[in-house]
Chains A and B, each alone.
Chain A
Amino acid sequence: MAELLPLLTRDLDGIIAIRHDRQISCREFLVQVATLADALPAASVAVNLCDDRYLFMVAFAAAILRDQANILLPSRQPAAVKEALEALADASILHDGEFAGLGEAGVDVRAFGESSNSDCGPVPAIPADQLCAVVFTSGSTGDSTRIEKHWKTLVEGTSINARLALHGIDVATGVVATVPPWHMYGLEYTVLLPLFNDVRVYAGNTLFPGDILNALKRTPVDRILVSTPLHLRAIARSGLSFPPVTRVLCATAPLSQELAQEVSNLLQTDICEFYGCSEAGCLASRDPVTTNEWRFFAEFSIDRSKERVCINASHLRETVTLADQIEFLEDGRFLLQGRGADIVKIGGKRGSIAELTDRLLALNGVVDAVIFRPESDVERETRLTALVVCPQRDIKEIRRDFARSIDPVFVPRPMRAVDALPRNRTGKLRNADLQRLTDSDTLRDE
């Protein structure tokens, strides 16, 4: 018989979420999940568009109970969502208001998240090999790669993550997060972690420093903040004073030692920084206050024999090739040397410069164009820069056309019209020349 793994393994009287100041127990959660699962239309997959972290969790679990894999779209831009939904046949759509008006396939999860009925049945068991979630890499264009997550991978990955995230914390823990639940990092630490540990997650939207402060105040237990360098930088600059936090988890881009120290002082906290990718989840960690060296989690085996580092683990179905260049030190410690020149990461999304450049070149009126990443300090989200030769068209029109077809984080800023690109005799472009041209005043009059 196929191996089964429970949907949840923890004391059912424990609190799993805080939503609108209400503490929701695991029992109530299970009742809501079962009720929603019964109400879902027959479909092969479920597009989970919930914004509220708790409702996302209810939708996530309900879809799994109906064997409908959660489709976690990389972008919530209305146009991108519409396009993705049109391409998906036979999908139920779970939302919490933002994407209302989707017709019969749409289920508003809000109505299911209010019940305080705690009369749940036995905890459901899920086949270990059931496909439960589909996440996507590369947000730069519509052609992103889909990554399938089976239940066993999610369950065992969570147990690996919990070991570090909750190390030394043996009391009920409140999780406040600034990352969306539909990206792999947010899914791991704010949706899956509470299913298997004494963790309650704050359901609200915590984007701005004021929200984070509010959420921390309403989470009156040992607190973990799941965040990114971008949000931590905003916290550090906000001028607000925050209550102490037990631990800050940080991922998506490298955190500088200076900012790590600043955040550590401000929140009186220790910081655990993770390195990972959508394909494998989190796979290495470091304490960014004291070191820039990473260490892989013990569960992963590392293959250094090829040009790119490959990793494997018993809970992963396939070997994962890492996009980053890695410099190995002694005892398995390593330094990240950044991604291959083509891959950029902005706002937690990976994009290919080559792919973006092809799209820009394909636009009407673009004679020549280049997209590159300017030199800059690490913490600020560095946008791409584009230089475009477009003698017949206004650069603003080109920018508008380009913005329509890609995720907004990848729209170059600045995007400038130039007379010609500084190509050398072999036709190549050097970053230094591009930067010089961007900084110079010899731009074509707009």
Chain B
Amino acid sequence: MAEMTDFELKLATLICEILNLEDVTPTDIDPEQPLFDGGLDLDSIDALEIAVAIAQEYDVHLKAEDEQTKEIFATLRNLANHIERERGTQTA
């Protein structure tokens, strides 16, 4: 399993909390494994919950319409990188 950065762990904790994933601990999530379709088996209701939590927590607004959103949501790592990049451009 790939190692997790501090921010990835924080994000994993947020996801487990809002999705009520009681039998998954944040450290169980492999940052490079798919979140949807296998892996954690999340669905579009979860995607909506995650998007709202990320908006509230990090003021980053995801759009399903963007071509790269599928890519962003593919893994915890991609999602974490995207949020950090967006926050970087906000403060820059």
Which of A's residues lie within 8 Å of B, judged by CB? 77-78, 204-211, 214-215, 230-231, 234, 237-240, 346-347, 381, 383, 395-396, 399-400, 403, 408-409, 411, 413-416, 446
Contacts and interface: CB of A to CB of B under 8 A. Distances in A.
A160 B26 CA distance: 50
A92 B36 CA distance: 28
Contacts, number: 81
Nearest to B62: A208
25 contacts: A77-B37, A206-B65, A207-B64, A208-B51, A208-B62, A209-B52, A210-B51, A211-B64, A211-B65, A230-B48, A234-B52, A240-B55, A347-B43, A347-B44, A383-B20, A400-B41, A408-B43, A409-B45, A413-B19, A413-B20, A413-B21, A413-B22, A416-B22, A416-B23, A446-B23
List 6 tightest A-B contacts by C-beta distance, closest first. A210-B61, A207-B64, A414-B22, A408-B43, A210-B63, A208-B51
Nearest to A347: B45
A211 B22 contact: no
B56 interface: yes
Label chain B's interface by main secondary structure: loop
A443 to B, nearest CB: 10
B84 interface: no
Contacts of A209: 51-52, 55, 61
B47 interface: yes
B61 A204 contact: no
Interface string B30-69: 0000000100011111011001100110010111110000
Contact of B62 (A204, A210, A215, A411): A210
A444 B79 CA distance: 34
Interface residues of B, number: 23
A208 B22 contact: no
Contact of A411 (B41, B51, B65): B41
A256 B41 CA distance: 29
B48 A208 contact: yes
A78 B23 CA distance: 25
Nearest to A399: B23
A234 B23 contact: no
B60 to A, nearest CB: 9
A78 B52 contact: no
B64 A239 contact: no
A39 B92 CA distance: 52
A207 B44 contact: yes
A139 to B, nearest CB: 11
B41 A403 contact: yes
Given A77-B37, A237-B56, 6 more contacts: A207-B51, A209-B52, A210-B55, A214-B63, A395-B23, A403-B41
Contacts of A240: 55, 61
Nearest to A98: B70
Given A408-B43, A416-B23, A204 B37 contact: no
